[in-house]
Structure 1
């Protein structure tokens, strides 16, 4: 099944460098340039003319898009990526899985910032949270033998600040918008923890369009929030699906541009047709996209 929801990460003129970096430090990962800026970009984008626009990252079969843009945004830990190292993927060898995790951690941590030390915790025998040199956050965890197999990559949304305590509400809202979607396991805080109240989500899981996601309410005050540094691109079958999701999700009119929107929780989405790549090859397509808020396929 094609991946319907693709995380997009914002980079400051260095998406090509990032693609090479992730290809080296993440297991089973490759990168390729999938789109370039046209030669005749607007004047304010002149330094991007003919340059890389999007680098596609394939992480063990999971697609992440790296957007080559400016300094306006940068990824932050409000949306991170959980990497589960399952011994089953290493011939049921726990030590081999642990070594692979440690090697990946060392690569991601080089030039980065440790958010939670790689260590044993009550919820995991081997876990760490790191922000890499580009600002992208990764949570690495060694799978427990008794747990069901999990995908290697799962995005996690962390709710804090003005949306503290909204994790389950948001997940329920998102589940209502997609096919093959449901809430999964939810663990609640049993006592106040930082800004998290009793019954806020300590860890939760949900599925959208057959893809796993996780969510949590933050246990610490945060200085960052959801923004365009990490956005969720939804590939829609037709204009009707674009219209439906746009109407349901868009909550910040000033954030609407080129298919981008921000929802009521501040999460950024890109609502695009699944053949956007083909549309962008048509004459004048880039100029058309730059004038649009919601993508209207018939304009291309």
Structure 2
């Protein structure tokens, strides 16, 4: 984006030669480095790109107390900040991971629930309070089926579950 003058002052305009990028940004009260280290060690195609301290006094604390990180999680870009208390994580934002196998789903579920809490329909909160949805990749296909009776059976089966299990969902689809 480039700065441009507007009637009201300075604004932003997008140049045609610049691609727009969307990046999720997570605010941690504390332990950001531990959290993103855990996440990037757990989810394939993930890495921490940078961690730096804000070297100026700011509303969240003195110079050096606020940290900012860039990381990739499952091939998607994220940013994070550790800057003291603000609004806690809630269900209005979650990270969804689709798993090709039950073993992968179980591995992620077990790691993320450690120190957190489980919820219905494949949802859980990790030890930092971040909401996750851990689901089989196949669930999307089952829920997008053109047969409404099949979708209803799969949905009813899913609503009985805490951790999602591929086999009962497949069985429900078959009737």
* 2:158 corresponds to 1:293: no
Q: 1:288 & 1:276 partners in 2: Cα distance?
A: 11
Report the alpha carbon displacement of residue 196 of structure 1 after superposing the two structures with TM.
4.1
User: What is the RMSD of the two structures over their aligned residues, measured on CA atoms?
Assistant: 3.1
Q: TM-score, normalised by structure 1?
A: 0.46
Q: Structure 1: which 5+ residue stretches go unaligned?
A: 1-84, 86-93, 103-117, 120-125, 128-140, 144-148
Counterpart of 2:33 in structure 1 is 168
* 1:285, distance to aligned residue in structure 2 (A): 1.0
Give 1:249's match in structure 2, choosing from 104, 112, 132. 112
Post-superposition Cα deviations, 1:67-108, rounded to whole Å, max 9, x if no partner, equal xxxxxxxxxxxxxxxxxx4xxxxxxxx46xx69xx9xxxxxx
CA distance, structure 2, for counterparts of residue 200 and residue 299 of structure 1: 49
Larger radius of gyration between Structure 1 and Structure 2: 2
**Could you list the per-position Cα deviations for residues 107-156 of structure 1 after superposition, in whole angstroms to 9, with x for gaps in the alignment?**
xxxxxxxxxxx97xxxxxx78xxxxxxxxxxxxx989xxxxx87610000
Q: Distance in 2 between matches of 1:167 and 1:259?
A: 24
Report the equivalent of 2:21: 152
Could you tell me which of 47, 72, 75 is aligned with 1:210? 75
Q: 1:213 to 1:264 in 2, by over 3 A?
A: same
* Mapping 1:143-292, distance limit 5 Å: 152-160=21-29, 164=30, 166-190=31-55, 193-196=58-61, 199-218=64-83, 221-222=85-86, 224-250=87-113, 251-253=115-117, 255-280=118-143, 281=145, 282=150, 284-292=153-161
Q: Which has the higher strand share?
A: 1
**Cα deviation code 1:236-265 (max 9, x no counterpart):** 111111101001111333x42100000010
CA shift for structure 1 position 225: 0.6
Unaligned runs of 5+ in 2: 170-175
**Contact 1:189 1:196 (C-alpha < 8 Å) held by counterparts:** no
2 CA distance for matches of 1:156 and 1:183? Answer: 14
TM-score normalised according to structure 2 size: 0.75
* Distance change >3 Å, CA 257–CA 196, structure 1 → 2: farther
**SS of residue in 1 equivalent to 2:42:** coil
Q: Distance in 2 between matches of 1:191 and 1:154?
A: 24
Whole-Å separation in 2 of the counterparts to 1:268 and 1:218: 20
**8 Å contact from structure 2 (residues 116, 128) kept in 1:** no
